[in-house]
């Protein structure tokens, strides 16, 4: 299914620049009720998109949270009106560096103003207004999507009943910034990057593939790599000394090569910069609002990109703000990818949280 498009005149960004017009690519599943209050906003991670599920349609492309969203699934599209948009700054139909700058008739490239996590949220708020959604039943996301859920809590707490914040941080640590910077430098070191103005020629495929390989290492854990690949050799018999002899080498090269076919290098720069710049610890960390939105925060035991201590800190901050908050730490060996892969464990948590009556936060952090 092709995503729909919503366009509006534009918005003033966090940095003071005006960006317009703006387009968001989005998909919806289920039906909005008469009160307009049964919507669940699903927020994707760094390189995700609006296609979170096929909603059980035979032959349709699987979504990135397929096992959690659909008829009878934990986020039940028979009950909830589910909305997922491609983030502002992305490259899957929403306004981003590859979009045409109306002032020049050419792609924005690096002429696009920097995009903040908060800007993504404000664009989503305009989309929800367009769709007739008044108050969200829940905003849910992991990784960069978790940052967006936090931004929703900070910016629009009165518009939320619940929020689910998974595998993320209130702000990046120096190590997390370092990983992102290495990826950006890999892109910008590619001669085909051409200062970001490569849209009439070859894209910086080698640099972007290398950035993806680096990033993907951080998404897995030592245990999951060992279990999946071990030290198996590929046995291809090539005479070149530095071929991908080990299975893990071949896997990373495959991930890099496939990534460049679906993602824009400049969008990678903009989105990684957005997550580095995000800082939800700036006062107030959370607006004081006793009895405000109920929050579920989740971490994963083997996630070393966003370690569980960062999730616990978010839960404590929400509690101090007076919000009913629960924290869960899922035992998993999949590393940061756990929030995408541990659907059998996440499912009951999400279903229970969505269906729990108001005013009953469950196990407090």
pLDDT in tens, 254-273: 899 999 999 999 999 999 99
Q: What is the mean pLDDT of the chain?
A: 93
C-alpha pair distances (Å), 250 with each of 231, 234, 255, 337: 12, 8, 9, 19
Q: What percent of the chain has pLDDT over 90?
A: 82
pLDDT band at 365 (very low <50, low <70, confident <90, very high): very low
pLDDT band at 212 (very low <50, low <70, confident <90, very high): very high
If phi over 0 gives left and psi between -120 and 50 gives alpha, with beta otherwise, what is residue 172?
beta
**pLDDT tens column, 190-205:** 999 999 999 999 999 9
pLDDT band at 156 (very low <50, low <70, confident <90, very high): very high
Does residue 354 surpass a pLDDT of 70?
yes
| CATH superfamily of this structure's domain 4-172+278-355 | Alpha/Beta hydrolase fold, catalytic domain (3.40.50.1820)
**Any idea which residues carry the catalytic annotation?**
143, 303, 336
Cis peptide before 316 (omega within 30 of 0): no
**pLDDT tens column, 269-311:** 999 999 999 999 987 777 766 668 999 999 999 999 999 999 9
How large is the C-alpha radius of gyration of the chain? 20
- Which residue stretches of 50-116 are H helix? none
Residue-range domain boundaries for the chain = 4-172+278-355, 176-275
133: which 2 tokens?
């959604």
Does residue 358 surpass a pLDDT of 80?
no
Neighbours of 123 (CB within 10 A): 25
pTM tops 0.75, yes or no: yes
CATH placement of domain 176-275: 1.10.1740.110
């Amino acid at each position: 299914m092709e995503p729909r498009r919503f366009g509006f005149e534009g918005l003033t960004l966090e940095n003071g620049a005006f960006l317009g017009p703006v387009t968001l690519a989005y998909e919806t599943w289920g039906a909005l009720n008469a009160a307009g209050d049964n919507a669940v906003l699903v927020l994707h991670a760094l390189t995700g998109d609006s296609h979170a599920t096929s909603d059980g349609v035979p032959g349709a492309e699987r979504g990135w949270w397929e096992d959690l969203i659909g008829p009878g699934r934990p986020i039940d599209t028979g009950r909830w009106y589910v909305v997922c948009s491609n983030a502002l700054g992305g490259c899957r139909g929403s306004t981003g560096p590859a979009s045409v700058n109306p002032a020049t008739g050419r792609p924005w490239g690096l002429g696009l103003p920097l995009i903040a996590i908060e800007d993504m949220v404000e664009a989503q708020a305009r989309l929800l207004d367009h769709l007739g959604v008044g108050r969200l039943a829940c905003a849910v996301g992991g990784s960069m999507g978790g940052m967006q859920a936090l931004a929703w809590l900070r910016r629009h707490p009165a518009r939320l009943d619940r929020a689910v914040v998974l595998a993320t941080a209130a702000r990046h640590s120096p190590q997390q910034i370092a990983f992102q910077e290495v990826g950006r430098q890999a892109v910008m070191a590619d001669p085909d990057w051409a200062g970001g103005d490569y849209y009439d020629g070859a894209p910086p495929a080698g640099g972007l593939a290398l950035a993806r390989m680096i990033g993907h290492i951080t998404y897995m854990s030592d245990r999951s790599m060992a279990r999946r690949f071990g030290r198996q050799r590929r046995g291809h018999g090539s005479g070149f000394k530095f071929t991908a002899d080990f299975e893990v080498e071949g896997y990373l090269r495959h991930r890099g090569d496939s990534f460049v076919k679906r993602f824009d290098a400049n969008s990678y720069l903009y989105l990684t910069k957005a997550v580095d710049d995000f800082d939800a610890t700036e006062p107030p960390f959370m607006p004081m609002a006793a009895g405000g939105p109920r929050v579920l925060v989740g971490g994963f035991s083997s996630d070393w990109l966003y370690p569980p201590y960062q999730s616990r800190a978010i839960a404590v901050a929400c509690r101090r703000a007076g919000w009913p908050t629960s924290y869960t730490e899922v035992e998993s060996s999949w590393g940061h990818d756990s929030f995408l892969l541990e659907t059998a464990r996440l499912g009951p948590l999400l279903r229970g949280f969505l269906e729990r009556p108001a005013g009953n936060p469950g196990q407090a952090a």
